[in-house]
Amino acid sequence: MNSLRFAFPLLLSGIALLTAQQPASPPPAVPAKPAAAAAKDDTVSYEKTRETLQKWAETEKRIMEERRDWDEGKALLKGQIELVNGQITELEAKLADARKRKEEALKKKQEMAAEKALILEAATDVNKMADSLEAAVRSAVAMVPEAIAKEKKLDILVAQLDASAKARAEALKEQAEGREKVIPIASRYQAIVGLIDQVNQVYPLLHKAVETRKLPDGRETNVTVVYVGLGQAYFVNLAGDFAGTGRPGPNGWEWTTNNAIARDVDDVIEIVDKSGSPKVFALPATVK
């Protein structure tokens, strides 16, 4: 409206200036118009001028509105750009954090894989050691006389050892087929240690057992056997006329008749039963 206010006087001044700049020479003779026609022309000219001014004012108004809309749109667009830039910055930070966590996870996975490889290697070595121990223990158990084995309940421990060996064989088979399977180690060592403990209890002690032996004529007779650990044994029958020695062999205990030691073996049995006085005996023995 301020522009319209100033534009109107300027337009009138321009009209006055154009009028003042007309040549001084008298205009050509124009037929005089009637007063009514002149008044009508002035009215038309005024209306056109007003219409022009109105259009100009509307144009100025529209320009101002467009400029205001542009300023508002520009501010809105700037705000949206700032918002998007903030989101981009946040996403870049999240992406960097995700990459870092991925690298850490990969590193941890590699460390776990290396640790797993070490564990598997150690488990293999431990199982190989268990194989050797198991073979030695089985050989030792095979030398334990049947009566003593029953007394010490070695059959239960041997069954546990057999079960752990079977479980290990099944685990190895599944591993060979590409399936993840943990090979049992603790159960193997528990059975092995249990057997070693029981066998060690047999080795340094004297054990007495009643067994059956064949006489030279083929008849069977009951004899009392004294085992000195698992390396030597002596036997004698109730009549005292049949005696001998025993040694562990590859197929079990091997027995040799030696009736001359019958009296000494009887004395040893009395000492084992705590019914005789301790004394020194000269019994045959084989050391290997």
What Cα–Cα distance (Å) separates residue 64 from each residue in 60, 67, 73, 77, 262?
Answer: 6, 5, 14, 19, 138
Higher pLDDT, 164 or 39: 164
E-strand stretches of the chain: 206-214, 220-228, 232-237, 243-249, 252-257
What are the tens digits of pLDDT across the range 114-131? Answer: 887 887 777 778 878 888
- 35-143 helix and 154-176 helix, angle to the nearest 10 degrees: 140
DSSP 276: S
Give every strand in the sheet of 252-257, ordered side by side: 206-214, 220-228, 232-237, 243-249, 252-257
pLDDT for residue 259: 94
Residue 38 has pLDDT above 90, yes or no: no
Contacts for 245 with CB less than 8 Å, ≥ 6 apart: 232, 233, 234, 235, 255, 256, 258, 261, 283, 284, 285, 286
Higher pLDDT, 246 or 45: 246
Higher pLDDT, 21 or 132: 132
Question: What is the spatial distance between Cα 155 and Cα 90, in angstroms, rounded to a whole number?
Answer: 70
Question: What is the spatial distance between Cα 72 and Cα 60, in angstroms, rounded to a whole number?
Answer: 18
pLDDT for residue 281: 67
Q: How confident is the model at residue 166 (pLDDT cuts 50, 70, 90)?
A: confident
What are the tens digits of pLDDT across the range 184-227? Answer: 777 788 888 888 888 777 666 778 888 999 998 889 999 999 98
Residue 83 has pLDDT above 70, yes or no: yes
Residue 28 has pLDDT above 80, yes or no: no
pLDDT for residue 275: 73
Q: Where are the domains of the chain?
A: 87-202, 204-288
Question: What is the spatial distance between Cα 124 and Cα 127, in angstroms, rounded to a whole number?
Answer: 5
pLDDT for residue 34: 58
Which of 19-23, 125-129, 161-165, 255-259 is predicted most confidently?
255-259
Contacts for 271 with CB less than 8 Å, ≥ 6 apart: 277, 278, 279
Higher pLDDT, 21 or 89: 89
Tell me the pLDDT of the chain averaged across its residues: 79
What are 188's two structure tokens?
């193997």
